[in-house]
Structure 1
């Protein structure tokens, strides 16, 4: 068994990491680095709640999972790697590309795993999109669109939206959206970006619209906290037709609501949200989404540690995403297209 220590027992730790660690064969939740001892005891009797420093220093811990505020990711991951641990870090891997580069170098030098938690690769909706792209049914894809919107006009707690906290919509949701784009199409040639602070008093970006160039293909990623009516989650348009998909994968809502990954319906999307493929002759087909399953991420971590398999997500993928976000910020600030290669 891979003895796993989880640092952080807020939303990410309680709704995502702890339930997945407990559900995946080969992992055991050995300790939680948090001050919320009563919450840990109630949810996982017998699992000690200790300080993050004590967890990292414990020689019995093999894997450290970091689910803490973004600004703490680098320091905690650095300490865990120096202690000889394998490390999983919630997105974003770090707030900056330079910090990610330093962690990758440290992990390589110590022959330890550094794995970004890009769990959205196992969303039901993204699995549907990926399967369609790989099938070639759309032919050459001219336009890929992804929207991830929320209606949250009020600011969150101040510490969550401070400029020095690694906050903002681009780092928050953009990390996942850019990662999904990279999985589908690889690195783009250029980016045009627009970022804004649209809510009163906001100190960080709460809106973005990014256009990535792949030769003649365009990938458009957009997100806002001031949209109450849903836009399509995904749209793909090519010579072989169009695919439009509404709705988000159900796993987060289920986990946040106290649902179990062992529920037979877990990860299954409402059929009403299945995407629709429109062919050139006007024929419309409904394409069922596959079951989403974030457990596959941690199963991949187990295989990487025990069997030497490749990690489920490469740290270099997260670094590529951070570099694209840096280029997007530069594009928005300068008001010009940024060439990437």
Structure 2
């Protein structure tokens, strides 16, 4: 029996759609890029020219009304996510939503309730769960190479002295804008995957650019897991002048792991490569992390190559399996998990505002 083909519609035609979603739709078996919502095409930015076999809509309402669409991918700014996801579910479509999921955990819970009522699934695009270096960290912890983890640092530091003109630099935090919802969502989600919900949160927000804006551009968030758990530091700064940017520093009772450089998949996707292409997701040996363990009573360090990449396509493949029959339990990034990450972000915001530790 031939497998069903699922028609996928994409709302938005910015970088997120072009780089992160449409290429993954195209490599997912039984997914068909059916349609795209682009409100204002331009001569050098026209979805109809780039994807002549896809229908082009100029409003999301037209897409919601199309009964032939099975899945809607929402790639617009985060202040639109709640309305678009709700409309997608209520029009009988599954929804895959870019991060950050929605502005608040309360809105996330509303969408979870609607998903359960309609029987349509939600998946949140936390693609960096499939960063190859993060999978490497997971494996090291699972195999007890580091022992009991006592400190976990996850960094997204960069040198970007100019504030971006996108939602990341213009939307307020009340609309899920700014660094805590952009990079912070990735950092906190990875900590959540490894260790679950923390006991308490401390947030320190700053404007490192000193450019007159009230919205912070840099964050340090501390997640405490009690006396027996790790201390997690999630950090994103914009004035970090380094030849090699720190990504992870994990310290445990048996060893430590330090890794520089970002996962390569984003740059490869921007360059036109796709999962399945030769070398996709594979970092050079020189970019490998350094594992230090005790041997014969002294610390010994060596390069530790990343695990074989699963790639961001794994998220799409997992969502397809959930739709095909796996159900809500098989969704690779559940809306309930994104809701929990939003609760941590909300605690960090409260801590940054009050200067106090916030218990969860």
Category of TM-score, reference length = shorter chain: over 0.9
Question: Match for 1:60 among 63, 68, 72?
Answer: 68
- Is 1:242 equivalent to 2:253 in the alignment? no
Contact 1:167 1:204 in 2 (8 A): no
**Aligned-partner SS, 1:30:** strand
**Which residue of 2 is the match for residue 31 of structure 1?**
35
Q: CA deviation at 1:43?
A: 2.5
1:85-96 pair list within 5 angstroms: 85-96=93-104
Q: Tell whether the 8 Å contact from 1:35 to 1:49 is kept in structure 2 after alignment.
A: no
TM-score, structure 1 length as denominator?
Answer: 0.96
**Deviation readout 1:252-281 (Å, 9 max, x if unpaired):** 011122223332111111211111111122
1:283 aligns to what SS in structure 2?
strand
Pairwise mapping of residues 216-235 of structure 1 onto structure 2 (< 5 A)?
216=227, 217-229=230-242, 230-235=244-249
Q: Equivalent residue for 1:153?
A: 161
For 1:34 and 1:270, how far apart are their aligned partners in 2? Answer: 37
2:321 counterpart residue number? 303
Q: Note the C-alpha offset of 1:79.
A: 0.8
Indicate yes or no: 2:304 matched with 1:287: yes
The residue that corresponds to 1:327 in the other structure is 347
Distance 2:346 2:245 in 1: 26
Partner of 2:198: 188
1:197 positional shift: 2.0
Structure 1 stretch displaced more, 15-24 or 146-155: 146-155
* Cα pair 1:301 1:312 within 8 Å, conserved: yes
1:44 maps to 51
Tell me, in whole angstroms, the C-alpha distance in 1 between the residues paired with 2:19 and 2:180: 22
Among residues 162, 176, 179, which one is paired with 2:171 in the alignment? 162
Which range moved further: 121-130 or 192-201? 192-201
1:128 Cα offset (Å): 0.7
The alignment yields a C-alpha RMSD, in angstroms, of: 1.5
CA distance in 2, matches of 1:7, 1:129: 34
Give the paired residue count.
340
Question: Which structure 1 residue ranges, 5 or more long, are not aligned?
Answer: none
After superposition, what is the alpha-carbon deviation per residue over 1:83-124, rounded to whole angstroms, capped at 9, x for unaligned? 111001000010111111111111111111011111111111
Give distance in 1, aligned partners of 2:311 and 2:166: 33
Are 1:124 and 1:249, in contact at CA under 8 Å, matched by a contact in 2? yes
Q: What 5-or-longer segments of structure 2 have no aligned partner?
A: none
